[in-house]
Chain A
Amino acid sequence: MSDRRFSVTTLPGFSTIAVLVFLVLYIPIITLVAYSFNKSEGAGQWGGFSLDWYLVAFQNEQVRKAAMVSLIVATSAAVISTTVATLAALGTTRRRAFRGQTAIYVMINQPLMVPEIVTAVALLLFFASLKQITGYTGLGYMILAHSAFCIPFAYLPIRARLEGMDLTLETAAADLYASSWQTFRHVTLPLLLPGILAGAMLAFVTSLDDVVITEFVKSPGQDTLPTYMLGQLRRAMKPDVNAISTILLVVTLILLTAFALLTRKRD
């Protein structure tokens, strides 16, 4: 390749714009994190460093319960959606192009395109009639809903990984009389694993952060951390909400870092 190929980093003003973008993106978040360690209750005054609000948040039974629900739903949704997404990715890449392939892509990625509130209202009505018929009001509905909208988030990295994988290895395995299961188990799956893990993490984070669909689908006692925080809006927000936000932020950051490491191209 020529040295003079186009690179965005050589455009005039690149660093200025980049710095500005990072400032706009991160200053509010840094402020929030800083104030979660603020001793005083007001948002305008700095009253010294303290971990009091974390203690307040941990001692709040509702917060603990919401955290539990969040974790259960996010873990279950990540497992289910990643399984489905892996099968879907295998089905859409490890074969010749077929009629209706685009339609399948669109269907799998539907949650990325349909406005969340539309899905939320639709699920509200649908689940309400299901609840009426079955009498079951447990967490199953929420796990199902979360699994559904997490599928594309799990699907995209897995598919990207599959498309970047060398088909010759699988062909070689088949040439050496490996059954299709053996090929999958010993060749495809190990190679695909980073993609699957990355997809699972993305799905987990997506489920953990969801507000709109959760707000409409939740049954009594099923507040998650984000809907609990939303409920605080009407009254003056207290810094314990900053503390919860910071914890959610840290969990998200850890998982996204792991995601980045897993999907990093090995050159």
Chain B
Amino acid sequence: MLKHTLTATALLMAGTSLAHAEGELFLYNWGNYTSPELVKKFEETYDVKVTITDFDSNDTALAKIEAGAHGFDLVVPSAGFVKIYAEKGLIQELDLTKLPNHANIGPEWMNVEWDAGRKWSIPYQWGSTGVSVNTKVYGGDINTSAIFMDPPPELEGKINVIPEMGDVLALATMYAGGEVCSEDPEVMKKVRDLLIAAEPKWLSMDYSTIEKMVNNDYAATVDWNGSAMRSRLGNPDVAYGYPKEGFGLWMDNVVLLADAKNTENAYLFMDFILQPEHAAMLSAFARYGNGVAGSDAFMPEDMKTAPEIVTPAEFVANGHFVLACSGKALEYQTAIWTELQK
């Protein structure tokens, strides 16, 4: 037993120290987020062995990359982190001549605030933060943050708010008429007063929204669009609302590390997932939109027309990216959040 283990260990160690063999790619991504079918197809097309390693938060990923000698080629950070990677010199500017499919990036995702012209990052998956409502319980307008900020009587005591400070305060600040990451004390005072007044009408602050929306334990919740869709598939009465005062957007992006050892394969992979067909494969697995124009045609049937995935045109303009706030804005948010948790 011991001898076998030692042999296996030795083999494994030998194997990994040969990491610079040709035909490899090391991807560092969120867990359960990379379609195995897509990876298989890529491996077979280019004869490249892909090794996927999971991370559970942007901070962990950044810490490991910053320490150096990480061995990864591509990372998938959230929007707010792309600039941090770039400013710290951890990623390299993309050579667009090696990405013929760069032109497939949807026009709305080309000039994003964290990367104008997409010179440093390409879209991976994106989604929105809004509200899910059981339309049997409440028949009024659901495209508003009033669902949880100033709940209609039918919903009182049946509302959940996800315990995610950045997302909830972004919705609340936009509802109060401010901008995401507002540093205006007047606005933030109003946000605080509204939230404190609304909080007694909530049932809970919890992450697991899908089961409870399906089982009618909640009549409404602040929600991410992907889980909203899964709730609706389990309970057709659930609908997803895009608050007109402003709803949150997030996006994860693929970046190429400055010290990547398999740059050519990394470009091949990025170009691969920018093909509409392959972008749709990513979406089919992760269940979010992908930011590649023309991928809709390849999407699974239940996602193609899903109002949670395909933002209805009339609401698109109300979406605002929620990047990590800093300084005064973060101070205000933390203070409000702490008071809310009491």
Contacts and interface: CB of A to CB of B under 8 A. Distances in A.
Nearest to B230: A236
Contacts of B313: none
Contacts of B26: 220-221
Contact of A42 (B2, B15, B210): B210
Contacts of A96: none
A234 B70 CA distance: 22
B36 interface: yes
B11 to A, nearest CB: 10
Interface string B199-221: 00000000010111011010000
B33 interface: yes
A128 B68 contact: yes
Contacts of A236: 210, 227, 230
Contacts of A223: 53-54
Contacts, number: 127
A9 interface: no
Interface in A98-145: 121, 124-125, 127-132, 135-140, 143
Interface in A15-57: 42-45
Interface stretch (B59-67, B137-145, B294-302): B59-67
B214 A230 contact: no
Interface residues of B, number: 47
Contacts of B212: 44
A218 interface: yes
B234 A42 contact: yes
Nearest to A66: B54
B12 A215 contact: no
B211 A219 contact: no
A75 B19 contact: no
Interface in A200-239: 215-216, 218-223, 227-228, 230-236, 238
A183 interface: no
B30 A234 contact: yes
Nearest to A143: B9
Contacts of A192: none
A43 B69 CA distance: 40
A76 interface: yes
Contacts of B211: 42-45
Interface residues of A, number: 46
A21 to B, nearest CB: 25
A69 B67 CA distance: 23
Contacts of A62: 36, 52
Contact of B9 (A45, A76, A127, A218): A76
A3 interface: no
Given A44-B217, A72-B9, A121 B63 contact: yes
B38 interface: no
8 contacts: A44-B212, A44-B217, A128-B68, A131-B68, A143-B9, A216-B64, A234-B56, A235-B286
**What are the 6 closest A-B residue pairs judged by CB atoms, nearest first?**
A231-B31, A231-B54, A131-B69, A44-B211, A138-B13, A128-B67
Interface of B: 2, 5-6, 8-9, 12-17, 19, 26, 28, 30-33, 36, 51-57, 60, 63-64, 67-72, 208, 210-212, 214-215, 217, 226-227, 230, 234, 286
Given A128-B70, A220-B53, 18 more contacts: A44-B212, A45-B211, A62-B52, A72-B8, A72-B12, A124-B64, A127-B69, A128-B68, A128-B69, A138-B14, A139-B13, A218-B53, A221-B26, A221-B51, A230-B31, A231-B55, A234-B56, A235-B226
